[in-house]
Chains A and B, each alone.
Chain A
Amino acid sequence: MIVNRRETLIGRLLLVLLMVITIVPFISLFVTALHPAGTYPSGLSWPDSPQWGNFADTFRAANMGKLLWSSCLIVLGVVPASLLFGALAGFAFGHLRMPGHRIGFLVFVLGLTLPFEGIITPLYYQVRDMGLLNTRWAIILPLIGLFMPFSVVWMRAHFVTMPDDLSEAARIDGAGTWQLFWRVHVPLAMPALSSLAILLFLWTWNQFLLAIVLVDDPQKRTMAGALGAFQGQWGTDIPLLCAGALLILVPTLAVFLIFQRRFVTALLQGSIKG
């Protein structure tokens, strides 16, 4: 490729600049979190005596251990069920193509653009009438429903590319549709399923609106929802608030850095398909 040196240099500079802009807020957050609680530090100054204890204090004050556990429970409730239901329906719409599959699928596609705010009001009354308000189910069940359009569309996009011959061969060997799904198609769908799992994990963990509307007790919310309550409680104490925000970032950041390659691919594909 013909690219001259000057352009390469400009490209590198621009890239570094963009990275700096992305990183600086994180650094500012970190540095501020190390200042003595209750002070109003300025911008990006390193404290005279870094207060590493702030993190421990915040961890205890916000009951972070319980919060982590609560978020894990919610993720465990949402992600496996969404994967299973999404895969089943994606298989049906993409591979079995029963009568009416086009219309059925279209109804799911239309749900892709739905903002959660659009249904939050009746959802509140519905969840209340089900007696689930202020339980983790109030977040888990609606989230599974809200994730269905994306999960189904995502899994169908995978199953549609699977050759029919594959299923014919399995059927000749005597496999029923159920066995065909579990024995042949699920193993082949693992890459699609794992990317979907990453996205659903992220969206559940970071879910805010459902958490603040449907669950009053911050201890039963998602991490993001609890952070909202935390801001209300500690909003005036900037170093502690920053420490809390950092602690809440850590789990997603850790998961991201461990699975980063898969994450980036999943997120890029995710936005294309969504």
Chain B
Amino acid sequence: MSLPITGRRARRARRPRAAWAGWLFALPAVLMYATFVLRPLVLTVQYSFYDWNGIGASTWVGLDNYRRIFTDSELFATIVHAFELIVFFSFVPVLLGLFVAATIRGIATSRLAAVARTVLFLPQVIPLVAAGIMWSWLLSSTGLANELLSAVGLDRLTRAWLGDFGTALPAVGVIGAWVLVGLCTLLLLAGMSKIDPSLYEAARLDGAGPVREFFSITLPSLRQEIGVSVTVTVIAALASFDIVYIATQGGPGNSTMVPGLEIYYLAFSEREIGMASALAVALVLLVLAVVLPIQRLTRDGSR
């Protein structure tokens, strides 16, 4: 499982004949990427310095929009919410995935594990929108979650989980955790299958228990897979949109408003293009600022 950036391995054979012709091959991809990604990205940065309603004249406001992200408590809260979602989208699936994968390592080749591989992937395959609808119903006041609570005599805990100020954000987080836990488990399990079994044999002979085994062998060998799981899930948390849009629309109040959804509302219903763009730039930078260190931390071991 080599990562794509293998520049150091690239051989330096030069063929002067076709030297520049390579760019002709890259041209369609470059054109599409430049037109529909790079140009809008540059424009996002440009818009972020203006106050503009999308129709009339725009006025230069410098860094005011950015200042507002940090001073307007409502806007800043969206970023805080995104980080709170990381706990559910990232920490829970990765930790749970590690625990489950380590426990089922011994039966990774059984028939049950083969079935599990298919089943655990289901949440990855369906549209997030469908996952949102499904869970809105499960977590509603008459849904399965409350029914289970009543069944075990915890009636007083029942509530409309997505409609309650205190529980709405964690409830959204649970939906994300459900979507991502299977992917993380299977990723980590695939990583574990590449660990030399003789390491475990040796550990057992030395009298190590499952816990010791996990911390001394499994965890260190999985550095790369953990890095990948964390990266994928952190991006899913910071850039979450579909689930929140369907499950809560940011409510109740603003208790589940995340940057992605706020950008959408600012740009397309409140017509504050400048503000939406500044938040978009902040989101892009935030993702990079979180993801790049994770990549560094988990990759340098292999180089």
Contacts and interface: CB of A to CB of B under 8 A. Distances in A.
Interface of A: 1-3, 7-8, 10-12, 14-16, 18-19, 21-26, 28-29, 32, 40-44, 84-86, 88-89, 91-93, 96-102, 104, 107-109, 111, 113-126, 141-142, 144-146, 148-149, 151-154, 156-157, 160, 164, 177, 181, 202, 205-206, 208-209, 212-213, 223-225, 227-228, 231, 238, 241-242, 245, 248-249, 252-253, 256-257, 260, 263-264, 267-269, 271-274
Interface in B96-128: 100, 103-107, 112-113, 115-128
A43 B144 contact: yes
B9 interface: yes
B173 interface: no
B10 A114 contact: no
Contacts of B65: none
Interface on chain B toward A: helix, strand, loop, or mixed SS? helix
B176 interface: no
19 contacts: A22-B178, A28-B143, A41-B142, A43-B142, A43-B146, A93-B26, A98-B19, A114-B41, A117-B263, A117-B283, A121-B263, A121-B280, A145-B37, A148-B29, A157-B2, A157-B4, A242-B133, A267-B124, A271-B187
B283 A15 contact: no
A112 B241 CA distance: 18
B40 A256 contact: no
Interface string B238-250: 1101100110000
Report whether over half of chain A's contact residues are helix, strand or loop; otherwise say mixed.
helix
B130 A1 contact: no
A165 to B, nearest CB: 10
A114 B284 contact: yes
Given A142-B36, A145-B32, A256-B121, A245 B107 contact: no
B228 A121 contact: no
Contacts of A141: 32, 35-36
Contacts of B32: 85, 141, 144-145, 148
Nearest to B43: A122
B152 interface: no
Contacts of A111: 33, 37
